Amino acid sequence: MAVSGFEGFEKRLELHFFGDDPAVTEMGLRQLDFESLEQVLHAVQCTVVSAVGNSYFDAYVLSESSLFVYPTKIIIKTCGTTQLLKSIRPLLHYARHLGLTLCSCRYTRGSFIFPKAQPFPHTTFKEEVICLEESLPTNLCRRKASVMPSKTPSHSWHVFTASDDAHLPGVLYTLEVCMTELDRVLARKFFQRPGDEKTGDTAGKEMTQLTGIGDINPGALICDFAFDPCGYSMNGIIDGDRYSTIHVTPEDGYSYASFECVGSIYDDHDDVVQILKKAVQVFRPATMSVSTTCTSHEVWTRVAGALEPLGLKCRSCAMDEFPAAGSVVFQTFTTRRK
């Protein structure tokens, strides 16, 4: 294990807002100018490298992961030693100016590979929770923090949710997949060849094609980027308001890849099985976790069935209920050879 390498495990923040004026909520947060977004990201210590949007939302690939901006919802996911929670106050400030009020917040992350390298308040989950509690307005009165354990010491799941009394969980589910100990041959595909004079966009497109990432959601509008000398990020826009995102830290000794997607509880659940299978086969990790946030149990029960034919065995499963987020189910898997 390297003393300290690049931290692949992301921190993820999801904020939901509401407004009384339909004229405001129609475009909502998407009215924020690029300069304002850049200021928020500057506080977090990352920048935009690429962007794509449709009539529902805007998706930004960041120097450290991703940002998704909807009219009344924002999702920021950042890796490395970024200070994600520093985005909350400026975002609330800009939202207030647009006539929007925060109604729910969800913060999630796995266990860092290099916890000692993290800056305050990401040094411990306890400090993160204190920071969240202090940054959020008092109308978010239903709060809960929990660390969901597993039998795999390197994987536990940290969840904090807060919501007002009126906010109800929606019909969307979120699947957050964290993969470690990637297949070395497959991980090499995320390195650029020395002397290649390709731009991040060009090299990213090649990696999307070569690795099979482009086949996970064949109809997706993809925004991809390759980092120099290695590493890769991708946001995909799928039918309307759905997204998927992949981030890869391929270095040996601390290799990591994440895959995240959203779906509706009314979708055909065979779709999520196929998507999950394809994503995992791109990396063939020795250890992985899947966190499913959903109001229905239909989705998480399919996860093990999708992964076991790939030689991954479910080692642990933890479940917890969160106000206004529904239930979170955290499952860990290792290859049978482990």
294: CATH: 3.60.90.10
In a domain, 271, yes or no: yes
Per the annotation, where are the binding residues?
6, 64, 227, 251
Distance between CA atoms of residues 325 and 328, nearest Å: 8
* Active-site residue flag, 233: yes
Each residue's pLDDT expressed in tens, for the chain with a length of 338 residues: 446 789 989 999 999 999 988 888 899 999 999 999 999 999 999 999 999 999 999 999 999 999 999 999 999 999 999 999 999 999 999 999 999 999 999 999 999 999 999 999 999 999 999 999 999 999 999 999 999 999 887 789 999 999 998 877 788 899 999 999 999 999 999 999 888 888 999 999 999 999 999 999 999 999 999 999 999 999 999 888 999 999 999 999 999 999 999 998 888 888 889 999 999 999 999 999 999 999 887 789 899 999 999 999 999 999 999 987 889 999 999 997 65
Note whether residue 4 is domain-resident.
Answer: no
Residues 247, 255, 289, 294: which is the catalytic one?
247
Domain membership of residue 61 (yes or no) is yes
Asked if 50 contacts 201 with a C-beta cutoff of 8 angstroms, the reply is yes
Residues in the chain: 338
204/39 Cα distance (integer angstroms): 26
Q: Which of 79, 103, 131, 261 is flagged as catalytic?
A: 79
Known catalytic residue: 167? no
Residue 289: active-site member:
no
Query: What pLDDT sits at residue 128?
Result: 98
Q: How many domains in the chain? A: 1
User: Which amino acids are annotated as binding site for substrate, given as ranges?
Assistant: 6, 64, 227, 251
Q: Does residue 6 fall inside a structural domain?
A: no
Residue 231 lies in a domain: yes
User: Which helix (H) or strand (E) is 114 found in, with range?
Assistant: none
The pTM is what? 0.96
Residue 294 vs residues 11, 174, 179, 184: alpha-carbon distances, Å = 19, 7, 21, 33
Domain hosting 98: range is 11-335
Q: Is 27 within a domain?
A: yes
Q: Which two tokens stand for residue 273?
A: 């099985």
Task: Give the integer Cα–Cα distance in Å for 159 and 141.
Answer: 16
79 as an active site residue: the answer is: yes
At residue 42's C-alpha, the angle toward residues 40 and 44, to 5°, is 75
d(CA 329, CA 327): 6
Concatenating the DSSP letter of every residue in 137-170 gives -TT--EEEEEEE--SSTT--EEEEEEE-SS----
Indicate which residue of 104, 150, 156, 233 is catalytic. 233
Strand arrangement of the beta sheet that strand 312-322 belongs to: 221-226, 232-238, 242-249, 256-264, 172-180, 287-294, 326-335, 312-322
- 58 domain-assigned: yes
